[in-house]
Amino acid sequence: MPLTDAPGPVPEAAPPSEVSDESRRLEAYYAQVEARLLSRGLLRTDGGGQDTPFTARMLAENFERIALYDEYVVAAGQFVARATPSRLRRWQEPVRVRLIWGASVPEERRAGDRARIGAYLQRLGRLTGHPVGLTESGGNVLVYIVNLDEQRTLGPRLRTDMPGVPGIVVSSIVNSPRSTFCAAYALSDAGNDDSVYSQAIIHLKDEHRGLMREACIHEELAQMMGLPNDSALARPSIFNDDEEFALLTRHDEYLLRILYDRRLSPGMTPAEARPVVARIARELLGPDS
């Protein structure tokens, strides 16, 4: 995705005392969503078990749908949900993640976020064999944890922190509806190989608490690594909109291991990657799985 637009000034962040009633209502709504999903046996944290078997063939097919298809296309200046064939994309340079909180987020929640995200990034690094970690300054992955009030004024800050961020990304974050729980946007430089990521922005809504907050962390950071699509056939997986699983599963760990296997390379089409992915999946699960 080409990077355009000029940077703008950084707005003053609203003090914590100015959290709006609308933001508080959104927090209550997300708490109700979490409770409803849990009451239905969803948002599982067990990673899958005997009730969710999968074979090497299923794993390979799920990888193709999740890693080699895009979840959205751009139409009339907006992201439109439509799975379309793409190419394999991943990072080549180390992934340096900087956390940026809105002024409304108290230090206690910031400390919890820092610990959970830091530990999760270590896990992603072990699975992929790729350098991934937190940084206090700079960074090529910016994670914004803001409430609704701060989200709506985030545009100038986004353009300053990441000059050239596409306007469609800024608009999608600033105008994010309550039906979008969180989002990740991985970008590549227009002048270089567009199958190699160079930057990413992740938007996490501070109105989430508890398990929903952690679920957003797990899905968006894993997606940012190069797993951009969802599939209704993937199970057990967080890359499935049915919300059955909240946290990264054993199946998803295999997806990440396949994605960064050196036998695959950025830019591969589904047809080019398919036989290699099938071979890796059989090695991971065994030929008789």
Q: What is the pLDDT of residues 47-81, one digit of tens each?
A: 999 999 999 999 999 999 999 998 654 544 555 55
Residue 3 maps to a domain: no
Average confidence (pLDDT) over 162-182: 95
232 CB-contact burial (10 Å; exposed 0-12 / middle 13-18 / buried 19+): exposed
Residue 6 maps to a domain: no
pLDDT exceeds cutoff 80 at 86: yes
Q: How many CB atoms are located within 10 Å of the residue 273 CB?
A: 23
pLDDT exceeds cutoff 50 at 7: no
pLDDT exceeds cutoff 70 at 200: yes
Share of the chain above pLDDT 70, in %: 88
Beta strands in 110-234 (DSSP E): 132-134, 141-146, 182-187, 196-197, 199-205
Residue 58 maps to a domain: yes
Residue 9 maps to a domain: no
Q: How many CB atoms are located within 10 Å of the residue 29 CB?
A: 12
Share of the chain above pLDDT 90, in %: 83
Residue 2 maps to a domain: no
Question: What pLDDT does 98 receive?
Answer: 98
Residue 101 maps to a domain: yes
The CATH number linked to 107 is 3.40.390.10
Residue 289: which pLDDT band, with cuts at 50, 70 and 90? low
Q: Which residues pair with 70 in a beta bridge?
A: 84
pLDDT exceeds cutoff 60 at 122: yes
Sign of CA dihedral 219, 223, 229, 235: negative
Question: What pLDDT does 194 receive?
Answer: 84
Question: What pLDDT does 189 receive?
Answer: 77
Residue 170 maps to a domain: yes
Average confidence (pLDDT) over 137-152: 97
Query: What range defines the domain where residue 45 resides?
Result: 16-285
Report the C-alpha gap between 217 and 233 in whole angstroms.
22
Question: What pLDDT does 11 receive?
Answer: 40
Question: What pLDDT does 9 receive?
Answer: 34
107-128 vs 250-259: helix crossing angle, rounded to 10? 60
Question: What pLDDT does 5 receive?
Answer: 29
pLDDT exceeds cutoff 80 at 208: yes
CA 33 to chain CA mean position, Å: 20
The mean predicted confidence, pLDDT, of the chain is: 90
Residue 252 maps to a domain: yes
Question: What does the pLDDT look like over 251-288, one tens digit per residue?
Answer: 999 999 999 999 999 999 999 999 999 999 999 998 76
In the chain, the largest separation of any two C-alpha atoms, in whole Å, equals: 60
Please state, in angstroms and as integers, the Cα–Cα distance from residue 137 to each residue in 43, 87, 115, 193, following that order.
Answer: 33, 31, 17, 26
User: Exposure pattern of 1-22 as b/e (b: 16+ CB <10 Å)?
Assistant: bebebeeeeeeebbeeeebeee
pLDDT exceeds cutoff 80 at 190: no
Indicate the number of domains in the chain: 1
Average confidence (pLDDT) over 229-254: 96
